[in-house]
A and B are shown apart, each in its own frame.
Chain A
Amino acid sequence: MDVGFARIGPTAIAAVAGAILGNGGALAAETRSFVIGPIYMPSVEVDAQSCPMKPKSAIQAFFDSLPPEEQAKYSDGDKARGLGALMAKTYGFKRGPADDTLTKENIAERRAKSGFPAGKGAISSYPQRHLAYDLCTNPDDFPQLSAGHQDYLGKIGYGINLDGKVDKHDLVGVDGEPGVDNAWYQAVGCANIARSLGDPKVGDNVIVSRQIPTLIEVTGIDNDQDDDEVTVNVYASARALDLNAVGKALAWASFAPVADPHYTASVKGRIVKGVLMTDSFDVNLRMQESIIDSSRELRGARIQATMTPEGIEGGIYGYQTLASLEDAYAQASTIGSDMISCPAEIKALRAHADGYKDPKTRRYSAISVALRFKAVPAFIVHHPAATAKVASK
């Protein structure tokens, strides 16, 4: 008789067992599961040699392009607020009304109906969804706003040696590892946003993509300190991250992964002195945050992170597709144009791209990145309909 028990899959049970036993020593094969809270591109402290100039924001670049008599009109704070409107008017930015039926499939039709420039405009401002044409959705149309960019010229940066080579353009890791590939940081690391949000003291405490967090599952753990073969699965969660009583990621919550294979990846790995290290794999990490509903598409990615009883923290390193990076910029639309310049950053990212050359264009389609993350223990419930008894310890 069905007595209405929760039906918990064997993976979850193994995870429970892992939680009971898991902080050292030889174990029966177990699974440990985690949900990511903070995940961001970490920055190092910069100096005058690393960033000789502060990169200009789009608004600043536009202001600088104005004749002195025009600039005088916008010199104080109140009037400066009108600069955005003037920039939009000057360059013909266009923004449609909120339309939650807008999709990538019907965008061409909507553009035509709304009088947007042919082939121009992108979906922005999740979750309302507007069709927008501006400096972030079509940066190539606004080269004037790229003025004043500053590459990161320093030698130190987060990351790992992704391509196995050590050349003169590479960074040196914060732990001294040579040949670190993090061209993303070299392209935009001097920007205020990258520097402030990338500071680990800040980034470690900011939960990202709370609505669709990323789940990590490590299966086949025989020894949580030293294991020559484990399997790592990465999923997008079907529900939002829970916060604990002090506003951080709640440990031991249960999540079901989304069924979408685009956001599911699996890779072999190993544990060395408590550090999980995976082989190279392609993975797409969902990112739904504020007004952005996008993903980080990583190619040739590797996870290197330390597992502890409290969770796992470390990095996901790989080559993020320019398409997914530019999609996030496009969705932000003009938001933040007083802090960064989309045309300048996108141009720099394209210039620094260093992975996955497109055979047709002969240009790189991805750029090396380092993502730092912190995750807490979780239960990943794959088959809520499977019957099992569960242990609570």
Chain B
Amino acid sequence: MFMEKPFTRCVQAVSALAIAFASLGAAPQDGEVTTPAAEAPAATPLLRRLTEAQYRASIADIFGEDIKVAGRFEPDLRVQGLLAAGASAVSVTPGGFEQYETMARSIADQVVDPAHRDRLIGCGPTSADPSGRACATAFFQRIGLRLYRRPLGPSEIALALANAEKARTLLGGDFYKGVGAALAGMLSGIEFIFQIENDVADPTKPGARTLDAWSRASRLSYLLWNSTPDPELLTAARSGALMTDSGLAAQTDRLMRSPRFMNGARAFFDDYLRLEDLNNVTKDGLIYPGFRAGATADAREQTLRMLSDLLITKSGDFRDIFTSREIPMDGMLSPLYRLPVGRQDWTTVQFSDDAPRAGILTQIAFLAGHSHPGRSSPTLRGKAILEILLCEEVPAPPANVNFTVVQDVSNPQYLTTRQRVQAHLDDEECASCHKRMDPMGLALEKFDGAGQFRAQENGVPIDTTGAIDGVKFDGAIQLGQALRDNPKVKSCLVETAFRYAVGRQLASSDDAMLGRLNARFVQSGYRVPDLIRTIATSPDYYQVRRATAKATRVAQAGPRSEGHF
């Protein structure tokens, strides 16, 4: 098309400018943005790239659900088990930036098209203002506040206006196309794609630094809603209310009372249990024909629904996630559970007291998600329990391990997985690690690689006995009970929630905060909403510290542990 090339060049120019801005590390500190106190050196601002879900939710909140976001996102990085922690460790590759730019153009085109411009821009050139500069100024001020999660400084407004005007000239004098080009530049800028946290002198602690009000608004909103701050939260930031304990508590409570708190809670549960990794799970259709396309997505949804209902809607005891017999079920999953359902969409069913399933360890998401395509894996399951639920480090296996005996499921000498694993453990180098991992995984061996129940393997009864931290168990139900009663599981949850909230690895200076959170968690009866509220309203949560990586207790695990069997 005739207009295509100049438009593209214009957007690229605007985008390049946005990057140049962002590369400075912090937004221009003019206008209403609070400036750091001169006497204390500013800590390096924390940049956290929006996850795909956060990006999509932010666009929907700012422009409306009918604005489509089409494109591929840069893959997220899991650091110490959390994508949230990885968000502060990722950048944008040139290829990824092209994707963001393409999405930005598509979104901007929709915002300024005739179907949306009246609602989203609301004005245009007039006889008194033939260039539409007043309209564009108002639009960039209003939208800029939502996109950057802080007011735009005068230089940023001026830049946006200049870009819009330049694009308008290039694009045949069309005001809306000019505004669209400038908007695309803002959308593909680092100020939107990343949460950029700025700090100020802490008024309550001389010499200390804390996040400024706008950064607090972003933290709160992405923690509690997994989306961009709403106008009321931004108003609270502008007024300074978020810099006070009472103002922070009021906004935290408001956000947690909203139905949208469920989005934030689900995002946390999803990251906590690494459910996004289910996107990479496939099963051999010949071995598990009941595991259909779509089963992994529904398994993820099932676990999220179960946790959301138990921990948020009912504000239940966190420990019950290991023993609850209520489970959301749909027609995609019910055949894998061999359960009758009266409807194909979601409903809640309850396992009977003598059923072999209870809690998240016996759900398809966990069982199939930590198995191989064609067989179960007590090692992967045990490793997942150690890393995710107990925050323990599992080192990678030696490079020269021979897995043949474990992988050969047709060997008549070893009919059960336990026998094959045991044969493998004759290798002493492997045994040292597996003796901690495998017993918990073996307790789940009555569920195959697709998560289906089996009483026997190759005609041989399955031995599901084991022990953890001196507590003996036999089977999934008793393992769930053992984990429910294990204090490490609770403190691991607290630690994970805090790391999720701050989006970084822990520092030794976080120990005091973790101690308080643990105590409060116990006191609250292990209520997750209470834990999240405690984090969100704690001044420590917003305190800026020099980054000192704490000696990690968790392995730097990738999305899956290919090295284990």
Contacts and interface: CB of A to CB of B under 8 A. Distances in A.
Interface of A: 3-8, 12-13, 15-16, 19, 239, 242-246, 248, 250-254, 256, 379, 381, 383-385, 389-393
A12 B340 contact: yes
B293 interface: yes
Contacts of B126: none
The 3 lowest CB-CB distance pairs between A and B, nearest first, are A384-B342, A245-B285, A379-B340
Contacts of B204: none
B338 interface: yes
Interface in B325-369: 326, 329, 331, 334-344, 347-357
B347 A390 contact: no
Contacts of B344: 239, 254
A19 B335 CA distance: 12
B340 A8 contact: yes
A15 B340 contact: yes
A389 B347 contact: no
B290 A250 contact: yes
Nearest to A382: B342
Given A6-B329, A253-B331, A393 B342 contact: no
Contact of A245 (B292, B341, B353, B355): B292
A297 B416 CA distance: 50
A138 B455 CA distance: 58
A379 B329 CA distance: 14
B288 interface: yes
Contacts of B352: 389-391
A252 B291 contact: no
A246 B285 contact: yes
A252 B288 CA distance: 13
Contacts of A8: 340-342, 349
B282 to A, nearest CB: 10
A245 B356 contact: no
A4 B343 CA distance: 12
Contacts of B348: 3-6
B289 interface: yes
A16 B288 contact: no
Contacts of B453: 392-393
17 contacts: A6-B341, A6-B342, A12-B340, A15-B340, A239-B344, A243-B292, A244-B285, A245-B283, A245-B288, A250-B290, A250-B292, A252-B290, A252-B335, A254-B331, A384-B342, A390-B340, A391-B351
B338 A7 contact: no
B286 interface: yes
Contacts of A253: 331, 334-335
Given A5-B349, A245-B285, A245-B290, A391 B334 contact: no
Contacts of A245: 283, 285, 288-293
Interface string B66-83: 000000000000000000
Contacts of A3: 326, 348
A246 B357 CA distance: 27
B343 A384 contact: yes
B290 A381 contact: no
B331 A242 contact: yes
Interface in B267-286: 283, 285-286
Given A4-B348, A251-B335, A391 B354 contact: yes
Nearest to B347: A6
Interface of B: 283, 285-286, 288-293, 326, 329, 331, 334-344, 347-357, 453, 455
Interface class of chain B by DSSP: loop
Contacts of B293: 245
B347 A16 contact: no
Given A8-B340, A253-B331, A254-B341, A390 B292 contact: no
A392 B338 contact: yes
Nearest to B357: A392
Given A16-B339, A385-B342, A390-B339, A5 B347 contact: yes
Contacts of B343: 6, 384
A245 B292 CA distance: 5
Contacts of B336: 252
Contacts of A391: 351-352, 354-355
A381 B343 CA distance: 9
Nearest to A385: B342
B314 to A, nearest CB: 9
B290 A390 contact: no
Contacts of A256: 342
A384 B329 CA distance: 14
A240 to B, nearest CB: 10
Given A245-B291, A392-B339, A6 B349 contact: yes
Most buried by B among A6, A19, A242, A250: A6
A316 B343 CA distance: 30
A19 B453 CA distance: 11
Nearest to A252: B335
Given A244-B289, A381-B342, A389 B350 contact: yes
A21 B357 CA distance: 17
A256 B331 CA distance: 12
A392 to B, nearest CB: 5
Given A242-B331, A253-B334, A390-B351, A7 B339 contact: no
B341 A246 contact: no
A248 B288 CA distance: 12
A251 B338 CA distance: 9
Contacts of B291: 245
A5 to B, nearest CB: 5
B350 A246 contact: no
A3 B309 CA distance: 11
B510 to A, nearest CB: 39
B292 A244 contact: yes
A6 B334 CA distance: 12
A211 to B, nearest CB: 15
B356 A393 contact: yes
Nearest to B332: A242
Given A6-B347, A15-B340, A389-B350, A254 B285 contact: no
A275 B92 CA distance: 65
Nearest to A33: B340
A4 B283 CA distance: 32
B445 to A, nearest CB: 15
Most buried by A among B339, B352, B453: B339
Contacts of A16: 338-340
Most buried by B among A5, A13, A239: A5
A254 B334 contact: yes
Contacts of A383: 342
Nearest to A387: B350
B338 A393 contact: yes
A244 B289 CA distance: 5
Given A239-B344, A248-B289, A379-B339, 16 more contacts: A3-B348, A7-B342, A8-B340, A8-B341, A242-B331, A244-B285, A244-B289, A245-B292, A251-B289, A254-B344, A379-B340, A381-B342, A389-B351, A392-B339, A392-B356, A393-B356
Contacts of B357: 392
B83 to A, nearest CB: 29
A385 B347 CA distance: 12
A252 B342 contact: no
Nearest to A379: B340
Most buried by B among A16, A19, A243, A390: A390
Contacts of A242: 292, 331, 335
Contact of B338 (A4, A248, A252, A385): A252
Contact of B290 (A5, A15, A244, A254): A244
Given A250-B292, A392-B357, A392-B453, A19 B334 contact: no
Contacts of A390: 339-340, 349-352, 355
Contact of A251 (B290, B337, B340): B290
A30 to B, nearest CB: 14
B289 A254 contact: no
B419 to A, nearest CB: 24
Most buried by B among A13, A243, A245, A254: A245
